[in-house]
Chains A and B, each alone.
Chain A
Amino acid sequence: MELKSNVPPGPIEQKWTRHKFDMKLVNPANKRKYTVIVVGSGLAGASAAATMAELGYQVQCYCYQDTPRRAHSIAAQGGINAAKNYQNDGDSVFRLFYDTVKGGDFRSREGNVHRLAEVSVNIIDQCVAQGVPFAREYGGMLSNRSFGGAQVSRTFYARGQTGQQLLLGAYQALERQIGLGAVKMFTRHEMQELILVDGRARGIVTRDMITGKIESHIADAVVLATGGYGTVFYLATYAKGCNGTAIWRAYKKGAAFGNPCYTQIHPTCIPVTGEHQSKLTLMSESLRNDGRIWVPKKKGDARSPGQIPEDERDYYLERKYPSFGNLAPRDISSRAAKAVCDDGRGVGSTGLGVYLDFADAIQRLGEATIRERYGNLFDMYERITGENPYKVPMRIYPAAHYTMGGLWVDYNLMSTIPGLFVLGEANFSDHGANRLGASALMQGLADGYFILPYTIGNYFASNKFEKLAGAHAAFKSGETSTAARVQKVLSINGQRTVDSFHRELGSIMWEFCGMGRNEKGLQTALQKIPALREEFWKNVRVLGEGEEINQSLEKAGRVADFLELGELMCLDALERRESCGGHFREEFQTEDGEALRDDEKFCHVAAWEFAGDAKKPVRHVEPLAFENVHLQTRSYK
């Protein structure tokens, strides 16, 4: 397998402009001859589907929810970055590029990141034009806030519901195209197989989640915008239905998987309360603008927070990282929280929590201002915990939140399978080993609105497409294997529920492939996961039939894939013998516990190629060059 990044030559600030000119075009009258399948309807999928339909392509869009508006992009709270420099505080495209490369701990591709920073400004314009109700100043201008890993205010927001509002903008653009007949929408459909003909992606097989019908869909290109795979941890901030099935099935058809071990553990989530817990809820990082994070200085201090005097509190982020303080990047903040809890200074009944305290901000700004900024987040916290965060500090703890890894793509967002494009969190491209806050929304929309619509045209114009019939052998065999898989799951009738397997897998992943990883632990996980997978296929119990709504069956399919994907994550984590960003190998750290990169051996992307069931996948390498932001040790001190 050859990994060609296809980053165009030339100075970094001219690459994208030049590439846009160099790419071939499809003339307007010919666009309607091409059909594109988009799987996923979040920010990346909805914006891509709508934009391609506007251009004139025939688009089909698939989602597993009951409407495209439910995709989990909707849950992003804090904001979206853009290099507008509206605050006159020294921001620029280059600075956003620089911050993102540095924030990613020098494990992303410079060319892609610069392009992301360039189009960030267009995203804001586009969203405003669509009617996204961004926060405004009294003069009517757009308002900004600051976010982790940056020293400028470049984050645009709509209260604490930025993801929701951006998604509704994209959803409405998509619905408009559905109304015009330019997009055919398939809700409650789940992709089961990617179909290749002559080595190119030419369609998918889906299961209709209402009738159970297994169907083939033919196209000239397939776009996966199916999000990340963090639900592998079971407890995560993802929606319950988020899954890795689409990208995993594509991987098994030959798409390389880039950096599977890069996962982001978000520092500010509501702590776990008990065994029954089904998911974790994020408290936006924007809260760290005004909240101060602390734990007691004394181990096992059981006093209530109000009784602990100021000089007996350890504001550990402010102490360790004075220039970024509470706004240190996510990976660093999460590990710092873990460190103080491991030290026995965690708070709450489980000892796995730290305080996020607004007392100072409320005193300085007044409760009304804090309510205006974060009211809905405070309400949400109160609903879940039964505590009033205006009176007592929030308790927070890190949780799995995002996967920087994903299917490997080149500069054109095309995977190693020709005709298979991958957008948003589902690809590996722009965030390196750690994503900065407010950058996921930016990347999803950049890919969907401004990048794929150009690059897919180049693919169409450069290739010839044979007309395919649904009866083609590749589709028939995809339908047969999907049906067989459904039957297999239903016929086991073992002793354990799907959720019990998912929970067990999650705890293995969290313990051995979570915030801290080491050789021995990863080896252990690599023993445990295959054993669990074997048990799953002998002992899972899924009741009911295939030809109806069957939520256990849906979950079983996803968990079966996670039982394979989790193993690849551990393998990748094992082979990357360095620490970088969210990947912290305990053997590789500096004296004061910071991540220790090994640029000589690991300044590259690891892209894994499927070699067959029960065979070790092949690790390929794409070297990374840093010509504009020079390799340095990240410091936020």
Chain B
Amino acid sequence: MNLTLHIWRQKNRHAEGRFVTYEARGISPDMSFLEMLDVVNEGLILKGEEPIAFDHDCREGICGQCGVVVNGSPHGPRPATTTCQLHMRSFKDGDVLTLEPWRANAFPVIKDLIVDRGAFDRIIATGGFITAPTGNAPDGNAILVPKPAADRSMDAAACIGCGACVAACPNGSAMLFVAAKIAHLGYLPQGQPERDRRALAMVARMDEEGFGACTNHGECEAACPKEIPIEFIARMNRDYLKAALFSPAERSGPSDGA
């Protein structure tokens, strides 16, 4: 199949970007989307043109490094699928596709389709963890975790940190990403001692990084390749409110864990 691609090209963080049109010819439906871009790039190199820069690594949908907005949808048209796992059989011959990087205030474009998502790491560094220095742990089975809580925690922990939620949100909000981490740790008994501190610190950092607020569009959930449910945001808001109202010093011990 043959496709026409309008691709965002931008030399670096400070340069102006623009769309450039390319033709992708002889594409097999069994190719992944990124393999299609590989083919275009090989052609460009042989013609003496600089290849299109895009982020990717594992190419099996788990590392979270890839991410292209295809015709306005982060990771493209197929639900619950990262860009690297999108295959060309999702498109048809003659399609015209627009490829852009994630667009968000907190994710500056650094070249072509590549953005800087360092803000996510900085949010995790403020509270997205359980303090458990190596060597202090009790026996694994000394901490019983009810199966439903473990399952729910795992649902949230499946987040790959790709940033599609931010790219999809009209406000460029990182609420789904932050809420997923707060839920992952908050469903577990191990996560209770730092639950208040975590919510306060992560939310504050999120605001500092320039992410927008949540106004319940639900685009984040729709774009999430790991189907993280939006209800985690409500849970985060409740954690945050509780922690903000009753200072951490007054509130100790496990919460209701619901």
Question: Quick one: which of A128-180 are within 8 Å of B by CB?
Answer: 128-131, 133-142, 158-159, 161, 164-165, 168, 171-173, 175-176, 178-179
| In the complex, the 8 A-B pairs of residues with the closest C-beta atoms, listed nearest first | A140-B144, A179-B125, A172-B129, A129-B137, A125-B137, A129-B132, A136-B150, A133-B153
Chain A 21-58 near chain B by CB (<8 Å), digits 1 or 0 = 00000000000000000000000000100110010000
Q: A171-B124, A173-B129, A383-B85 are in contact. List 17 more A-B contacts (CB 8 A).
A: A122-B137, A128-B140, A130-B132, A131-B129, A133-B187, A134-B140, A135-B154, A136-B147, A137-B147, A138-B146, A140-B146, A140-B147, A274-B30, A277-B35, A495-B46, A541-B46, A548-B11
Is B51 interfacial (CB-CB < 8 Å)?
yes
Question: Quick one: which of B54-88 are within 8 Å of A by CB?
Answer: 55-65, 78, 80-81, 85-87
List 7 contacting pairs A-B, 8 Å CB cutoff, sorted by A: A129-B136, A129-B138, A130-B132, A161-B62, A273-B28, A277-B35, A500-B42
Chain B 130-172 near chain A by CB (<8 Å), digits 1 or 0 = 1111111111110111110011011001101100000000000
Instruction: Tell me the minimal C-beta distance from B59 to chain A in angstroms.
Output: 5
Contacts of A176 in B (CB 8 A): 125, 129, 131
Question: Quick one: which of A203-225 are within 8 Å of B by CB?
Answer: 210
Kindly report which residue of chain A lies nearest to residue B54, judged by CB atoms: A551
Instruction: Tell me the minimal C-beta distance from A543 to chain B in angstroms.
Output: 5
- Assess the B130–A274 pair: CB atoms within 8 A: no
Contacts of A68 in B (CB 8 A): 121
- Assess the A172–B130 pair: CB atoms within 8 A: yes
- Assess the A239–B57 pair: CB atoms within 8 A: yes
- Assess the A276–B65 pair: CB atoms within 8 A: no
Q: Which residues of B line the A interface, CB within 8 A?
A: 11-12, 28, 30-32, 34-35, 38-39, 42, 45-46, 48-51, 53, 55-65, 78, 80-81, 85-87, 89, 110-111, 114, 116-118, 120-121, 124-126, 128-141, 143-147, 150-151, 153-154, 157-158, 160-161, 184-185, 187-188, 190-191
A125-B138 contact in complex given A139-B144, A278-B35, C-beta closer than 8 Å:
yes
Give bound CA distance, A519 to B188, whole Å.
56
Contacts of A619 in B (CB 8 A): none
Contacts of B111 in A (CB 8 A): 548-549
Is A599 interfacial (CB-CB < 8 Å)?
no
Is A453 interfacial (CB-CB < 8 Å)?
yes
Give bound CA distance, A141 to B137, whole Å.
16
Q: Would you call the interface of chain B mostly helix, strand, loop, or mixed?
A: loop
Is A449 interfacial (CB-CB < 8 Å)?
yes
Give bound CA distance, A613 to B60, whole Å.
37
Contacts of B158 in A (CB 8 A): 159, 161, 164
Contacts of B126 in A (CB 8 A): 179
Is A1 interfacial (CB-CB < 8 Å)?
no
Instruction: Tell me the minimal C-beta distance from A522 to chain B in angstroms.
Output: 30
Contacts of B141 in A (CB 8 A): 86, 141-142
- Assess the B118–A175 pair: CB atoms within 8 A: no
Contacts of A274 in B (CB 8 A): 28, 30-31
Contacts of A47 in B (CB 8 A): 134
Give bound CA distance, A176 to B146, whole Å.
27
Contacts of A178 in B (CB 8 A): 121, 125
Stretch at the interface among A70-78, A101-109, A260-268, A325-333: A70-78
Question: Quick one: which of A275-289 are within 8 Å of B by CB?
Answer: 276-279, 281-282
- Assess the A72–B153 pair: CB atoms within 8 A: no
Kindly report which residue of chain A lies nearest to residue B63, judged by CB atoms: A70
Is A614 interfacial (CB-CB < 8 Å)?
no
Give bound CA distance, A11 to B153, whole Å.
43
Q: Which of B62, B65, B131, B139 contacts A125 (CB 8 A)?
A: B139
Kindly report which residue of chain A lies nearest to residue B159, judged by CB atoms: A168
Instruction: Tell me the minimal C-beta distance from B22 to chain A in angstroms.
Output: 16
Instruction: Tell me the minimal C-beta distance from A180 to chain B in angstroms.
Output: 8
Give bound CA distance, A86 to B126, whole Å.
35
- Assess the B140–A172 pair: CB atoms within 8 A: no
Kindly report which residue of chain A lies nearest to residue B120, judged by CB atoms: A67
Kindly report which residue of chain A lies nearest to residue B126, judged by CB atoms: A179
- Assess the B60–A281 pair: CB atoms within 8 A: yes
